[in-house]
Amino acid sequence: MARELLVAADRYDLERLRLMCQNILFQSIDTSNVMGTLSLVRGRDTCRQLKDSCIEYIASDPEVFSVVMATEEYQELKNSCSPLIIEIIERVATHKAARGSSSEGLISHRLPEKTWSTHKASEEVHGVHEFRIPNFCAVIRLVDNQTIHSGTFRVGDYDWKLAVCPSSGGDGETAAEAGSISVYLKLLSDPPSHGVEVSKKFMVYNPNGKSPMTLINDGAAPTTNEERGQTWGYKKLITLESAKSQYLAHDGSLTICCDFAVTKQPYTSRSTPTTRPMIAVPSSSIALHLDQLLARKHGSDVRFLVEGSEICAHSLVIAARCPVLYEVVAAAAGDSEDCHIVRINGMKATVFKAVLRFVYTDDELATLGRSVVVDEDMVGLERMKIICENFLAEHISKENAFDTGNMARRHQCSKLEDYCMDFILSVPSLAKELIKLIPLPSP
């Protein structure tokens, strides 16, 4: 079927499908089908790589060439004086060292397996990871003497993680260690036999300083991590008192940064025989194409009227991706002689455009705020709602905590509401304001 799909992909200029089919045909090349594949791609400029691979396969082994010359396809091309025959013969002539012939007779030959090795020189890979802990004061009350882990990040071909432990004092701790924050860098990957040499320094974000980071400890001599799970850092990077008084951002968060360099020693990498595609197939671009479809309005059959603006869209895309919004489209079509016009009330045009773009591309929202969450209930996009909740949680502050909490309650966003309440209780001034709002019991 790959042959027929290749013809169809070439006919309709489907580049990614064309490359996928060429890869399938390349992986299956042998003496029984190489001439058929060569005949298929002959004259197709878009398949030059596959054509060249077929010719190289035929010319690379004298016995393969002798088997191919006996096929009907080769004789037909020879009798028609096809330029392909000239290319094959010229390629055979350029091969100075032919590979050994098989002693088992004329059997089906496949592409020869290859192994390879590469010498890697010593290099230093630099990495920076910022670990933000929102609502830090509330967090340390809940996780006292327990470790908080960052997400996994990759530097120098190895996986790492930061481990942060705020401690108010406990068994086995000295007076100097109590009331401090410990920070460690942890190796999560298996290191090579010679280990992984790492130079590290930790910094804490200073929201009031002229520079974005304040260096708390300038690091030490490079260390060598020789096994998975090994950690290195400081038992007392900074005191809890300093963290609360100097380094909390306006939203109550604390950001710890690890700036480190991984030194990779010289080594030679080896591979095992493996089947690898010769032709690189690009990643899917369907989201980009749908985004362009929305922007260019080609083939649109629905027009939304929002705040006096006309926004064009495609009913089939909406039906597949957002059934709730499609019900609005279908209802408007039934009530109006002009089934292409749908009026959207109670929503900003900028917000509706963002909703449509999410419907088409599933693109995450980076800068949209409260209004998107409010209006999302109208179109029933659960994933978009969760993304917006996370956005609001990350940007909570003293100024918007009450408004965000009230909005979360109105729209049944229980997790966001709980997060807002925890934040309010962690800020003394907000907690006092909350107490004032609680009605006193009737006498």
SS3 133: strand
**Residues 6 or more apart whose Cβ sits within 8 Å of residue 397:** 250, 251
Contact at 8 Å (CB) between 222 and 263? Answer: yes
Q: Where in the chain is the domain with CATH 3.30.710.10?
A: 286-395
Contacts of 101-104 spanning 24+ positions with Cβ under 8 A: 101/61, 101/62, 101/63, 102/63
Q: What is the pLDDT of residue 98?
A: 46
Q: What is the largest CA-CA distance in the chain?
A: 110
Q: How confident is the prediction along the chain (443 residues), in pLDDT tens digits per residue?
A: 888 888 888 888 888 888 888 888 888 888 888 888 888 888 888 888 888 888 888 887 888 888 888 888 888 888 887 788 888 888 887 764 444 444 444 444 555 555 556 666 666 777 888 888 888 887 777 766 678 888 888 887 788 898 888 875 544 444 444 688 888 888 888 877 767 777 777 888 777 654 555 565 554 556 676 677 778 787 888 888 888 888 888 778 888 888 878 876 666 655 544 444 566 777 777 888 888 888 888 888 999 999 988 999 999 999 988 888 888 888 877 655 555 788 888 888 888 888 888 888 876 554 444 444 444 444 556 777 777 788 788 888 888 899 888 888 888 888 888 888 888 888 888 888 887 776 655 55
Task: Estimate the crossing angle of helix 286-296 against helix 349-361, to 10 degrees.
Answer: 140
CATH 3.40.50.800 fits 120-267, yes or no: no
Question: Which residue from 416, 421, 315 is spatially nearest to 373, judged by alpha carbons?
Answer: 416
Residue 254 near residue 226 (C-beta atoms within 8 A): no
pLDDT value of residue 206:
75
Q: Which residues contact 89 (CB under 8 A, 6 or more apart)?
A: none
What pLDDT is attached to residue 305?
92
User: Between the CA of residue 260 and those of 27, 123, 182, 410, what are the distances in Å?
Assistant: 43, 14, 17, 45
Nearest to 200 by CA among 213, 183, 214: 183
197 φ, ψ (degrees, to nearest 5)? -85, 125
pLDDT of residue 119: 61
Neighbours of 116 (CB within 10 A): 8
Query: Across the chain, how many H-helices and E-strands are there?
Result: 18, 15
Q: How far apart are CA 133 and CA 200, in angstroms?
A: 20
Q: Running DSSP on this structure, what letter comes out for residue 147? A: -
Which long-range contacts link 276-285 to residues 24+ away (Cβ below 8 Å)?
277/23, 277/26, 277/27, 278/23, 278/26, 278/49, 278/53, 279/19, 279/22, 279/23, 279/26, 279/49, 279/50, 280/19, 281/16, 281/19, 281/20, 281/23, 282/15, 282/16, 282/19, 284/16, 285/16
> What are the CA-CA distances from residue 425 to residues 204, 326, 366, 412, 430 (Å)?
24, 42, 28, 20, 7
SS in 3 state form for 160-200?
Answer: EEEEEEEECCCCCCCCCCCCEEEEEEEECCCCCCCCEEEEE
Q: What are phi and psi of 214, to 5 degrees?
A: -110, 125
286-395: CATH class: alpha beta
For position 312, what pLDDT does the model report? 92
**pTM reported for the whole predicted model:** 0.43
Task: Residue 133: name the closest of 124, 142, 125, 123 by CA.
Answer: 142
Looking at residue 425, what is its pLDDT? 87
Rounded-to-integer distance, Cα 367 and Cα 329, Å? 28
- Alpha helices per DSSP H over 13-155: 15-27, 34-41, 48-59, 62-69, 72-79, 83-94, 136-142
Residue 57: count of CB within 10 angstroms of its CB: 24
CA separation for the pair 143, 7 (Å, rounded): 62
What the block records as the tokens of 220 is 């030490």
pLDDT of residue 262: 81
Closest listed residue to residue 160, CA positions, set 184, 143, 182: 184
Q: Which of 278, 268, 273 is nearest to 117 (CA)?
A: 268
The pLDDT score that the predictor gives to residue 363 is: 67
Q: Would you state the structure tokens that stand for residue 30, as one six-digit string? A: 């042998």
CATH code 2.60.210.10 region(s) in the chain: 120-267
